[in-house]
């Protein structure tokens, strides 16, 4: 790699690290003030999926259960013709079922609680838990668990019982598969702090209010005393995550690479492909383009470099992309 190219790659690497959430140490977030993380040039995609910028989610702390002294958002509401009746007390809530996650499409949008959704925040969406509330979610397949703040509504399809942020799904080990069997348990913040052997933080300590009463057994009894909110998210709200998919290609067994291309990644999300293309165009001295193909009834948008003519050229491009932390290019044949 010549000195000019190495300098350019190092400069891009510095910018990537500066814009990446993993460069900041996660700080405890006060309820109602969730941050927005990710590159400043990120444009919301038309379909949901995983972010293209990488963050070490192990450094993101779980939500800290805090007593809530204001009003809970627990009014009945209607979505796509169906009315939901939230419960008034989540402290003893327990349920087992399928969890999904939502990501890039909703990043930065307002949640049902009025907070901004951060796909790297430790939050969740639930159809009937009061907002806000806290839950422990355990992946029944691997035993991993996280504590989350419920601040949104969903998922409104299928039989899934809870929708987690991308970071939470990643920590539980199912971001790649999309769904997992989980156990959801409500948390009493006062009991949680007592179990830590610590008092509730003084900054939030206020006189205890009367405990909320469970919702009436009959939904009509609740509806009679509370108005039904017309909460109308898009029909595809919190739909199944469309994950970036790496296309499987055969390795080239011969040293000759003339006429081949380097494929950096393949995405179901076209906006993610365009973002990567833009980054690569600033990084490598080669043509960057997107080639789309249908795989398993899904359109994949493949980000490629080339064509390349020599093994040395291919190696130089691969090194540049890796140094800029933009992927692991693989040699592929034209199609």
Q: Within 10 Å of residue 62's Cβ, how many Cβ atoms?
A: 15
Q: Classify 80 in phi/psi space as left (phi over 0), alpha (psi -120 to 50) or beta.
A: left
Q: 304: which 2 tokens?
A: 């490629």
**Which pLDDT belongs to residue 66?**
92
pLDDT tens per residue across span 21-46: 332 233 333 333 334 444 443 444 55
Binned at pLDDT 50, 70 and 90, residue 245 comes out as: very low
CA–CA separation, 184 and 194 (whole Å): 21
**322, pLDDT greater than 50:** yes
Average pLDDT, the chain: 73
233 band by pLDDT with thresholds 50, 70 and 90 = low
Specify the pLDDT at position 167.
Answer: 92
- Has residue 92 got a pLDDT over 90? yes
In the predicted structure, residue 50 carries a pLDDT above the cut 90: no
What pLDDT, on the 0 to 100 scale, is given for residue 53? 66
Top-confidence range, 101-110, 210-219, 244-253: 101-110
Percent pLDDT > 90 in the chain is: 28
More confident call, 290 vs 107: 290
Strand partners, 290: 303
Work out the average pLDDT over 170-196: 92
pLDDT of 171: 95
What domains are defined for the chain? 31-225 (2.40.40.10), 244-332 (3.30.70.1070)
Q: What is the pLDDT of residue 57?
A: 87
* Tokens of residue 104, six digits: 């890039």
Segment 70-86, tens digit of pLDDT: 888 888 988 877 888 99
Q: What digits encode the pLDDT tens for the residues 184-227?
A: 999 999 999 999 999 888 644 444 433 443 333 333 333 345 66
- Tokens 């293309």 found at: 277
Q: Quick one: which of 92, 1, 109 has its CA closest to 45?
A: 109
Query: In angstroms, rounded to a whole number, what is the distance separating the alpha carbons of residues 106 and 31?
Result: 19
Residues 6+ apart with CB under 8 A from 70: none
Lowest-pLDDT range of 48-52, 167-171, 198-202: 48-52
> Rounded distance, CA 329 to CA 276, Å?
12
What's the token pair of residue 36?
């927005």
- Return the number of other C-beta atoms located less than 10 Å from residue 198's C-beta: 9
- The secondary structure of the chain, three-state, reads CCHHHHHHHHHHHHHHHHHCHHHCCCCCCCCCCCCCCCCCCCCCCCCCECCCCCCCHHHCCCCCCCCCCCCCECCCEEECCEEECCCCCCCCCEEEEEEEEECHHHCCCECCCCCECCCCCCEEECCCCCECEEEEEEECCCCCEEEEEEEECCCCCCCCCEEEEHHHHHHHCCCCCCCEEEEEEECCHHHHHHHCCCCCCHHHCCCCCCCCCCCCCCHHHHHHHCCCECCCCCCCCCCCCECCCCCCCCCCCCCCCCCEEEEEEEECCHHHHHHHHHHHHCCCCCCEEEEEEEECCEEEEEEEEEEECCHHHHHHHHHHHHHCCCCCCEEECCC
Report the range of poorest mean pLDDT among 129-133, 218-222, 230-234, 301-305: 218-222
């Amino acid at each position: 790699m010549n000195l000019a190219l190495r300098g350019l790659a190092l400069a891009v690497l510095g910018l990537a690290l500066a814009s990446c959430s993993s460069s900041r140490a996660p700080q405890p977030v006060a309820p109602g003030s969730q941050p927005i993380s990710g590159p400043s040039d990120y444009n919301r995609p038309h379909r949901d999926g995983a972010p293209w910028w990488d963050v070490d989610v192990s450094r993101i702390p779980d939500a800290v259960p805090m007593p809530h002294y204001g009003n809970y958002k627990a009014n009945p509401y209607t979505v796509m013709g169906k009315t939901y009746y939230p419960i008034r007390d989540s402290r003893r809530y327990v349920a087992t079922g399928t969890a999904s996650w939502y990501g890039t499409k909703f990043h930065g949008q307002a949640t049902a609680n009025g907070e901004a959704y951060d796909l790297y925040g430790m939050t969740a969406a639930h159809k009937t838990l009061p907002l806000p509330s806290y839950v422990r979610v355990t992946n029944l397949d691997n035993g991993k668990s996280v504590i989350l703040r419920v601040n949104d509504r969903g998922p409104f399809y299928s039989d899934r019982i809870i929708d987690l942020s991308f970071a939470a799904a990643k920590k539980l080990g199912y971001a790649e598969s999309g769904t997992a069997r989980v156990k959801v348990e409500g948390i009493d913040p006062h009991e949680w702090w007592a179990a830590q052997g610590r008092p509730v933080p003084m900054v939030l300590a206020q006189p205890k209010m009367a405990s909320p009463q469970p919702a009436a057994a009959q939904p009509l009894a609740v509806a009679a005393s509370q108005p039904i909110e017309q909460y109308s998210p898009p029909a595809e709200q919190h739909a199944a995550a469309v994950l970036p998919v790496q296309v499987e290609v055969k390795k080239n067994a011969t040293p000759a690479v003339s006429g081949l291309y380097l494929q950096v990644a393949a995405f179901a999300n076209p906006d993610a492909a365009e973002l990567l293309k833009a980054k690569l165009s600033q990084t490598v001295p080669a043509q960057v383009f997107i080639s789309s193909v249908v795989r398993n009834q899904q359109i994949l948008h493949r980000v490629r470099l080339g064509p390349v003519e020599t093994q040395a050229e291919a190696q130089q491009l691969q090194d540049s992309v890796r140094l800029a932390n933009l992927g692991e290019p693989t040699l592929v044949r034209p199609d």
